[in-house]
Amino acid sequence: MALSVAPAESMASLNSDLSYDILRRLDGPTLASAACACAAFCSVSKEEKLWENVCSSTWPSTSREDVKSLISCVGGFRKFYADCFPLIVNKDVAEYQWNDHLEYPEEWTEAEYYGDVDEFESVAPSDFVSIVDIRYKDKTICSKVLWGIPNVNELNGWFYNCPFRIDLLTYAARDDDNEGEVFLSVSDGLPPILSMEKERKDGKLWMELRDGLRLSWIVVNKKVKQTANLASWSSLGGQRHWPTDKDFVTRFGSVLSAKGILPCQVVECILIMKFRVVHTEGEGVQTTLKLTELSMQLKDMEGAHVNGRNSLLILRKKL
């Protein structure tokens, strides 16, 4: 939304109610820009309700009462938006020499690499909350909130030593009666598929999915009161998932610093979304896809899975 700003002396004559009425109509980036325009807008733009509206518009899951309470506890909606809207930019990642040959220093023992240290005692799976929203062509098709990391017994060490993975769809629906299976159809803007053979040739559906899907995966660390969005703004790639031709996989993610935690210094946060064709066009049934997987994994730069303990340390370091 474009914003045309009047001279400062004209803005000063506006009362706060009128300024609020103007600012409440803006999206997040425009509201942030307007706050820099004059003292009156700067003052009014600090109202939490403005940023609550912006957050609920950007991430529908933040409209939930339990999530509102969480956001209030970690600093409020204005801080939440500032932390979660930008892409992750990390100095350690920017300085990483991607072309250098990866050599693990001799001083890293096997126990240190796999996280056999006491530091993990200060970070627990229950510290983290995942706030996830999926849009397709600006229409929200899925909003989920996951408290903690599912199926983890913190008194049992298996999680800390096994590959880290969060399967959001598998566990979230158990705790929320309003959240069931997620479908995407022609009514959502999906192009019809006359046959899978035709789709294999022209790839129209896959291209529409790649270009139309948007994922936001926000992680909140309740203990340190920090948040970050671990998803890229758009898809990083994907494919039809062979050997079947009815599964479409798309991949989002980010690169996180692991300095001081792993010798490779950086890791890749991989977010996988998988849809399966359950209906094709014909006999009065619209083309329909079902969301079958939504997961997060962390891998080092050689493709090895990062274990649970080190993954929690990396997430805490980022947040």
pLDDT tens digits, the chain, 319 residues: what are they?
555 545 445 555 567 888 888 899 999 999 999 998 888 888 899 999 999 999 999 999 999 999 999 999 999 999 999 999 987 665 555 555 544 444 545 555 545 555 544 554 578 899 999 999 999 998 999 999 999 988 776 555 688 888 999 998 864 444 444 456 899 999 898 888 888 888 888 888 888 989 999 999 999 999 999 999 999 988 998 877 666 778 889 999 999 999 889 988 899 999 999 999 888 876 567 889 999 999 999 999 888 999 999 999 999 987 7
CA distance 207 to 235: 11
Phi and psi of 271, rounded to 5°?
Answer: -115, 120
DSSP secondary structure string for all residues of the chain: ---PPPPHHHHHTS-HHHHHHHHTTS-HHHHHHHTTT-HHHHHHTT-HHHHHHHHHHH-GGGGSHHHHHHHHHTT-HHHHHHHHSSPP--HHHHT--TTS-----TT--HHHHTT-SSGGGG--GGGEEEEEEEEETTEEEEEEEEES-TT--TTSTHHHHSBPEEEHHHHHGGG-TT----EEEGGGTPPP-S-HHHHHHH-HHHHHHHHHEEEEEEEEETTTTEEEE-S-SS--EEEE-TT-SSEEEEEEEEEEE-TTTSTT-EEEEEEEEEEEEEE-SBTTB--EEEEEEEEEEEEETTSPBPBHHHHHHHHHHH-
CA distance 44 to 152: 44
Question: Global pTM?
Answer: 0.84
Q: How far apart are the first and last CA of the chain?
A: 30
Cis amide bond preceding 163, omega within 30 = no
